[in-house]
Structure 1
Amino acid sequence: MLQVIRSAWPLLLGIILLMVGNGLQGSLMGIRGGIEQFSTIELSVITSAYFVGFLFGSRTAPGLIRRVGHVRVFAALGSFISAVLILYPTITEPWAWVLLRVLFGFSFSGVYVTAESWLNNSSTNENRGKALSLYMIVQMVGIMVSQALLNVADPAGYVLFVIPSVLVSLSFAPILLSVTPTPEFDTTKAMNLRALYNTSPTGIVGMFLMGFAFSALFGMASVYGTAAGMSVAEISIFVTAIFFGGLVLQFPIGWMSDRMDRRKLILFAGVGGALGSLLGLAFGGSFEMILVAGFILGGVSNPLYALIIAYTNDYLPRDDMAAASGALIFVNGLGAIAGPILTGWLMGNLGPPGFWVFLAANFTLFVAYVAYRMTQRVSLYEGEGDYDAVTYAPLTPSATPIAVEAAQEFYADNAPPEQDIAASQEERVDRQ
């Protein structure tokens, strides 16, 4: 871990500043939108627009980098981010915020792609797992720190938009002025969605539903807090609880995933998400219980993303692991786009409880599907007792194809021998 910090500290410092800026504006959108009297459905579309831009950016940024290089893409997209942050309080119209959020999501995705390719280049096969862990920790810490900044100024003014603009601008200095060489850049062609579904139906469906959950938690938590009458301080604590849960439970769940049937762990985590949602729905009037519900939901949602990737890889040959990353991210992105709109529609009809109803329905559907699939396929982890699952690598749902491909390289390097995987797959056939 110390070796990774020594070699990549400028990059990690830049990333944490980026995450502080992104986390601050993400929560600020819901609070300021409420002040501007945007409707819940308008705020949900604004939230969804970020994920539209992010998905589009994650698919086009690699081409931009290949054409003009890392440094130019990084600097250009960083300028767009700073400009968008300043424009938010200048043009307080829903349609304008939708367009700005698309551009913001696109730009941030491109910046992440660039930064993650540098991080992947600075790591080796021996320390790539540690680099991914450190990257995930930096992301989570950055978002949690950003929530405290919500309380330093009036959200009805300009200061809270200027702060993330400055932080994002400053984040480029340690990265661009470091001596880290520009990496070679290449991406793997994505696997066909049908082929991946045939290999792991749970992987595809699970990633889609986790896109629902993550976008609702990340994008709509502040909208819910505003609608529920929370103060700015309470909203900041609520969002912090969500990401703190993801940070605290990521590693215990990862540890368990390497030591038990991953399908059962996925099922148990989904049940935890459903119970956490019902807890928030039943005790929505208690701020303390809302914090507990947020901690539980964040604690299962973030690890589930990486857990589903690890589970999918258990059914893939080494050579197909990297190719599967693009398909998994695309499916997750589609869910992330739809999630806020469905949440906003429910909140528009049911009021603030619609936030919890959406999450409860999503996790219940997730649990039902995983339970159904457990009746259709013999477990890869039980029976002969001679199969070792691929090692778990921590990732967050905001990871771009570069970070996921880096994780896939880590999985491939730590996978059991190819012949063992093939033998396991031949012996464990579906029950039709």
Structure 2
Amino acid sequence: MLQVLSSAWALLLGMSLLMVGNGMQGTLLGIRGEIEGFSTFEMSIVMSAYFVGFLGGSRVATGMIRRVGHVRVFAALASLISAVMILYPTFTEVWAWTLGRVLIGFCFSAVYVTAESWLNNAATNENRGQALSLYMIVQTAGIVLSQALLLTADPSGYVLFVIPSVLVSIAVTPILLSISPTPAFERTKPMSLRQLAGYSPLGCVGMFLLGGVFSAQFGMGSVYGAKAGLSVAQISTFVAMFFVGAVLLQYPIGWISDRVDRRILILVVAAFGVAGSVIGMVFGSQFTLLLVSAFLVGGMSNPLYSLLIAHTNDFLEHEDMAAASGGLVFINGLGAILGPIITGYMMDVVGPGGFYLFTGVLFAILAAYAGYRSTVGRVVPVEETGTYVAVTPSSTSVALEYAQEYAIESDLSDDTATESN
């Protein structure tokens, strides 16, 4: 762990500042949109736009990096992120915010690709798992911290838009001054979606559904809070609880997943997600229970992402795992684009509770399909399953490929140790 910190502290520090900026602007727009009188549907379009840009950026970022290099791409896009954040309060129009969210999603996707390749270059085979864990913790901790910063100023003013802009600008400095050398960049050609679905129908269906769940909580959580009449402090705490649950429950669920039938565990975890959604829908007026619901929804959806990846890998040869990464991220991204739009529609129809109705339905479909697949799919013995590696839904296919490589290395090491014994 210390070796990872010594070699990648600047990158991790910069990424934490970037995540604080990203977390602030997402929640702040939901609050400010209510102040400006934007409708729920209009805000759903704005929030969905981020995932449109993110998915597009993940498809073209590698070509940009090959043409002009990591440093230029990172610096240019981080500067654009900073500029867009400061422009939000200047142009309080739906079309301007939508365009801004597309640009920020695109830029963050390319910035993540760059940072993740740098992180992999700084890690060794022995500490790659620790590096990925630190990266995940930094990402999630940055979003949680960002919610506290929302309490430092009035959301109807400019200051809260200036803070994330400044943080993103500062984040570039330690990374660009400390990271050397620039890593070589190689990408694996993605597996076709048809092939991927043939290997793991549950993995593909689950990733699509989780895209909707994650984008709803990341994009529409603050919109829900504003429509439900929560104060700024309550909204920031509410949004933070999604990610607190993700951090605290990721590893216990991962530990269990290496010891049981993963399809059954997917069913159980998704069922807890349904329970969390029902609590939020029925007891949303009680703030303490609302926090419990957010903790459960976030604590189930994020580990499910890694769990579905591990389940998919159980049906792949080692040489195919990295190739499957692009397809899994793409499927998740499609679900993420639709998530805020459908959530916004449901909130318009049934009120703020439509937020939890949407996540509950998706969790229920996933649980039911996991139960079905457990009766018809090929059974992989527990002792033959691959290693669970924690990955956040906000990571790109680059981090997912490196996680796949780490899982392969871990499995091969375990096989070698077993044979030697």
TM-score by length of 1: 0.95
**Residue pairs, 1:328-347, within 5 angstroms:** 328-347=328-347
How far apart are the structure 1 equivalents of 2:21 and 2:415? 47
Could you list the runs of 5+ residues in structure 1 that have no partner in the other structure? 421-432
TM alignment of 1:152-301, pairs within 5 A = 152-301=152-301
Give the C-alpha shift of residue 419 in structure 1: 11
Is residue 11–residue 179 contact of structure 2 (8 Å, CA) maintained in 1? no
In structure 2, do the counterparts of structure 1 residues 284 and 373 end up closer, same or farther at CA, with 3 Å as the change threshold? same
Name the structure 1 match of 2:362.
Answer: 362
Q: Do structure 1's residue 36 and structure 2's residue 36 form an aligned pair?
A: yes
CA contact (8 A) 1:390 1:416 kept: no
Kindly state the Cα deviation for residue 257 of structure 1 after the two structures are TM-superposed.
Answer: 1.0
- Which residue identity does 1:118 align to in structure 2? W
Aligned CA RMSD, in angstroms, stands at: 1.4
Deviation by residue 1:357-399 (Cα, 9 ceiling, x = unmatched): 11111111111111111111142126xxxx3321111110001
Residues 136 and 396, structure 1, Cα contact 8 Å, conserved in 2: yes
How far apart are the structure 1 equivalents of 2:415 and 2:101? 47
Q: What aligned pairs does 1:29-178 form with structure 2 within 5 A after superposition?
A: 29-178=29-178
Partner of 2:19: 19
One-letter amino acid matched to 2:349: N
5+ residue gaps, structure 2, are 417-421
Q: Is the Cα–Cα contact under 8 Å of residues 221 and 239 in structure 2 kept in the other structure?
A: yes
CA–CA separation in structure 2 for the residues paired with 1:417 and 1:406: 16
**What does the per-residue CA deviation read over 1:44-72, in whole Å, with 9 as the maximum and x for residues that have no partner?**
01000000000000111011000000000
Query: Could you tell me which amino acid in structure 2 is paired with residue 265 of structure 1?
Result: L
Instruction: Write the distance in 2 (CA, Å) between the matches of 1:124 and 1:314.
Output: 24
Q: Per-residue CA shift, 1:97-123, capped at 9, x if unaligned? A: 111110010011111111111001111
Distance in 2 between the 1:148 and 1:130 partners?
27
- 1:8 matched residue in structure 2: 8
With over 3 angstroms needed to count, the CA separation of the structure-2 counterparts of 1:303 and 1:52, relative to structure 1, is: same
Q: Secondary structure at the match of 1:375?
A: helix
Q: Which residue of 1 aligns with 2:399?
A: 403
Residue deviations 1:327-386, cap 9 Å, x none?
00000000000000000000011110100111111111111111111111142126xxxx
Rounded to whole Å, the distance in 2 between the matches of 1:409 and 1:417 is 12
User: Which residue in 2 is equivalent to 1:306?
Assistant: 306
Report Cα offsets for 1:216-237 as digits up to 9, x if no partner: 0111000000000000000000
Stretches (4+) displaced over 6 A: 417-420
Structure 1 or 2: larger helix share?
A: 2
TM-score, length of structure 2 as denominator length: 0.97
2:152 is paired with a residue of what secondary structure? Answer: coil
Q: Distance in 2 between matches of 1:291 and 1:149?
A: 19
Q: Compute the displacement of 1:4 (Å).
A: 0.7
Partner Cα distance (1:378, 1:390) in 2: 15
